[in-house]
Amino acid sequence: MEKPANRSFRLRGTRMTHGQEIGYAKYWGEFGLPSDVKLNPQEIFPNSNLVVMEIGTGMGEATAEIARTFPDTGFIGVELHLPGLGSLLNRIVEYELKNLRLIREDARVLLEENFADESFDAFHLFFPDPWPKVRHWKRRIVQDDFVKLIYKKLKPGGYIHVATDWEPYAEWITKKFLDSNLFSGGEIERPSYRPLTKFEGQGIKKGHKVTDLKFVKN
């Protein structure tokens, strides 16, 4: 699969702090996964009953907390931002997590090329870039082809949990998933397992409404 013509993410500054540089240099070899080979979640986590992929781990605050809350579930975090990966690797070591691995790649390419269909029990997509300007809507990650891709990669009965602090994007996401007839669901209360992160707190202070959405594979 060719790299998507429209990126759904903005590559922020890649300058890492000293601590992030150390984390990436010391721990990527242990917790990072290759992006150029076929991957089997059950082989990565042979002792886990469930495997979840988080698309866009950011700085990794929520990712690490959720993995710590569910030690029997395997988590694969996908992120391109090097400072975020460095921070999350440090959290993995600090929390002594055995159930979290990371991949540096565009999630859409990764899912198409590296994982078989029906590989995952769930997906997490927390605070994807809403691209609020109309001319940038084509860059939003949640598009018709993305919905179909998630459907293919989910096991029967699997789900995707999305959180956003941009109400028009929540409406867009809901319409994309429900109009596909591939999923059922909609808005839910924020699950207790999803921690309130610094990023989310900043949005709330600005008056943004945070919406949690859950769509289950039909």
Q: 73 and 52 in contact (C-beta within 8 Å)?
A: yes
Alpha helices in 142-212 (DSSP H): 144-153, 167-179, 198-205
- Please name which of 53, 106, 61 lies closest in space to residue 79, comparing C-alpha atoms: 106
- Output the CA torsion 10→206→202→215 (10° steps): -70
Quick one: which H or E segment has residue 20?
Answer: helix 18-31
121 catalytic per annotation:
no
Q: 163 and 211 in contact (C-beta within 8 Å)?
A: yes
Considering 72, 129, 165, 212, which one is annotated as catalytic? Answer: 129
Question: What is the three-class DSSP state of 65?
Answer: helix
Angstrom distance (rounded) from CA 92 to CA 192: 21
Beta bridge partners of 100: 75
Angstrom distance (rounded) from CA 178 to CA 120: 20
- Please name which of 201, 120, 130, 182 lies closest in space to residue 155, comparing C-alpha atoms: 120
Angstrom distance (rounded) from CA 94 to CA 12: 25
Tell me the catalytic residues: 129
